[in-house]
């Protein structure tokens, strides 16, 4: 599985900029840069050098050379920091490819770092989370995992189970010398690791929120002030606001952040009976958004409402507070004026309080990691049950499966299919 060829890619965004970076990784990296430059390079020493096309100077660039294994990928690596013209950057990459490298695939640099033991698979996934972070909280969690917090826990659990498997196997293979394995000791170790799995699984829902955002649907009758509230929260004119009922025809989705937590705001079409085909489609999307939302803000026009407006169990938000002087406070959870920003901060605090309170001590795992932990837990439960009344041979069957599942989280047990699935979501150059 260890790669033997040399790869290259532009690792900065394809746009006009002051600097662009081309990364080369593999056994021919230093040979390639030597063909394109007249300088002699020394490991970990930056040099200013001309890049040549044949004998013509193309660009003066900073060259960062790294000798294996002291590099990001664990291989020989060259980074070319050129001027950031789009044509120029692509031209330098073309010269690199023509000199013996091939274009890197999505996430292939990080994939090689995993294969070469520079990081485990959970740390590699954290790199993508750092890049995709929607808030300070999601970035901080990704950094914790990148620093090895999840990987170290998984590896510790897996090592404990491997040692247990070894002891049980020894008692099976050498009964006279080792003797029967203590069932109570086996149960204690399994229960200890099951407890640790439950602690990690507790971070799944919070991990989903950090990576995808907490969905807040703004719903209500036409002209209840949904789009006005969206604009007020975002501090920009994102949605068209008029006095005409049914102005919002489509679902508007915007990313937002409250106290460092990522929010996805969904501005929906007003729900009412209509013969307008386009508006009907928008209303159908509104119902779908209600089903998918983590929280529903039910906006109620305080200048025109009936008791029917209070049927739904959600956060009842009275709107147009600036236009009324007398109202029944018990009918609403909060009353606001988006026009004057009245009680908007209080509404944001209420939304925050409705979100699951994130425990900073928990590692917020992703869906793949949680699924593998559930598989490991199920296998350990079966192994524990087998230890109660079956022989030792049966204990090890599911114990091995649990070890396999834990190994897939960190990459201790790698397959090409597993790597391809994970790194497909990375960008080229990372």
Q: How confident is the model at residue 247 (pLDDT cuts 50, 70, 90)?
A: very low
3-state SS assignment for residue 27: coil
Average pLDDT over residues 302-327: 76
pLDDT of residue 249: 42
What does 219-286 look like in DSSP terms, one character per residue?
EESTTSSHHHHHHHHHTS--S---SSTT---S-EEEEEEETTEEEEEEE-PPP-----HHHHHHHHHH
- 3-state secondary structure string across 84-118: ECHHHHHHHHHHHHHCCCEECCECHHHHHHHHCCC
Q: How confident is the model at residue 260 (pLDDT cuts 50, 70, 90)?
A: confident
Q: 144 exposed, middle or buried (CB, 10 Å; 0-12, 13-18, 19+)?
A: middle
- Nearest one of 208, 287, 225, 294 to 251, comparing CA atoms: 287
> Rounded to two decimals, what is the model's pTM?
0.75
Burial 310-344 (b: 16+ CB within 10 A, else e): eeeeebbbbbbbeeeeeeeeeebebbbbbbeeebb
Go through the domains of the chain in sequence order and give each one's CATH number: 7-118 (3.30.1360.120), 122-200+382-423 (1.20.120.430), 210-354 (3.40.50.300)
Average pLDDT over residues 382-404: 92
Cα 123 from Cα 250, distance rounded (Å): 39
Read off the DSSP letter of residue 427.
P
Residue 112, pLDDT > 90, answer yes
Q: Are strands 214-220 and 56-66 parallel, antiparallel or unpaired?
A: unpaired
pLDDT of residue 12: 92
Each residue's pLDDT tens digit, 95-108: 999 999 999 998 99
Q: Are strands 17-25 and 7-10 parallel, antiparallel or unpaired?
A: antiparallel
């Amino acid at each position: 599985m260890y790669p033997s060829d040399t790869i290259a890619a532009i690792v900065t965004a394809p746009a006009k900029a002051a600097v662009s970076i081309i990364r080369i990784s593999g056994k021919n990296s230093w040979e390639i840069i030597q063909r394109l430059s007249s300088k002699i390079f020394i490991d970990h020493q930056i040099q200013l050098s001309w890049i040549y096309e044949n004998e013509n100077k193309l660009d003066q660039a900073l060259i960062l050379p790294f000798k294996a294994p002291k590099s990001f990928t664990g291989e020989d690596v060259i980074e070319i920091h050129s001027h950031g013209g789009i044509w120029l950057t692509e031209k330098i990459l073309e010269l690199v490819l023509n000199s013996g490298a091939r274009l890197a695939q999505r996430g292939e640099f990080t994939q090689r770092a995993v294969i070469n033991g520079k990081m485990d698979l959970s740390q590699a996934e954290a790199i993508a989370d750092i890049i995709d972070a929607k808030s300070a909280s999601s970035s901080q969690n990704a950094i914790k995992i990148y620093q090895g917090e999840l990987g170290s826990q998984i590896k510790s659990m897996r090592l404990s189970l491997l040692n247990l498997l070894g002891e049980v196997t020894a008692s099976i293979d050498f009964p006279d010398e080792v003797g029967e394995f203590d069932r109570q000791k086996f149960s204690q170790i399994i229960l200890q690791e099951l407890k640790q799995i439950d602690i990690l699984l507790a971070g799944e829902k919070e991990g989903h929120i950090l990576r995808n955002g907490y969905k807040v649907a703004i719903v209500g009758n036409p002209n209840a002030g949904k789009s006005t509230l969206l604009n007020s929260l975002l501090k920009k004119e994102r949605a068209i606001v008029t006095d005409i009922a049914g102005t919002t025809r489509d679902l508007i989705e915007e990313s937002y952040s409250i106290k460092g937590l990522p929010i996805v705001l969904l501005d929906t079409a007003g729900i009412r009976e209509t013969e307008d085909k386009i508006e009907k489609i928008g209303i159908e999307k509104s119902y779908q958004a209600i089903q998918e939302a983590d929280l529903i803000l039910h906006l109620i026009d305080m200048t025109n409402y009936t008791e029917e407006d209070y049927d739904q169990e959600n956060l009842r938000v009275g709107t147009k507070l600036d236009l009324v002087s007398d109202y029944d406070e018990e009918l609403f959870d909060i009353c606001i004026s988006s026009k004057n920003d009245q009680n908007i901060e209080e509404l944001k605090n209420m939304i925050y309080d409705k979100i699951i309170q994130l425990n900073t001590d928990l590692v917020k795992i992703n869906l793949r990691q949680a699924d593998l932990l559930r598989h490991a837990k199920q296998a350990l439960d079966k192994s524990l049950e087998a230890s109660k009344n079956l022989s030792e041979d049966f204990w090890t069957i599911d114990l091995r499966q649990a070890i396999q599942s834990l190994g897939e989280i960190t990459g201790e047990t790698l397959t090409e299919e597993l790597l391809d699935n994970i790194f497909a979501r990375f960008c080229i150059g990372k």
